[in-house]
Amino acid sequence: MKNWYKDYEPKPIDTSKVKLSSEILELTELLAKNAHDIWAQQRISDGWRWGAKRNDARKEHPNLIPYEELTEPEKDYGRKMVLLTLKAILALGYRIEMPK
């Protein structure tokens, strides 16, 4: 097996010049909540349940709660991923437009 991890050099899409409009920024919370709900739905369907501490053997996770109940740092992780994804989409030349 090749030791690919030794030479691995992450090369994310350069989004440094992308500016997000206020309309796009408004999507952030909605998409972060949606991503959390998708994650939670998948975990629950895989037999996971809420637990005060993460326990992989018992399939328990403290974040199996509604998005609104997450702490701000937990929400911020989702928001950051959404913002980075939206910026990458725009950096690649795609457009995101409001429906008319």
CATH classification for the domain delimited by 20-91, as one of 3.40.30.10, 3.10.180.10, 1.10.490.160, 2.60.40.1220:
1.10.490.160
CA–CA dist 76, 56 (Å, integer) = 23
- Bridge partners of 37, per DSSP, are none
Give the residue with greater pLDDT, 99 vs 20: 20
* Section 14-30 average pLDDT: 94
- 40 closest CA partner among 29, 31, 50: 50
Q: Look at residue 2 in the predicted model and tell me its pLDDT.
A: 67
Q: Domain locations in the chain?
A: 20-91
* Section 48-62 average pLDDT: 98
Q: Look at residue 7 in the predicted model and tell me its pLDDT.
A: 84
* Section 56-67 average pLDDT: 98
Q: Look at residue 1 in the predicted model and tell me its pLDDT.
A: 56
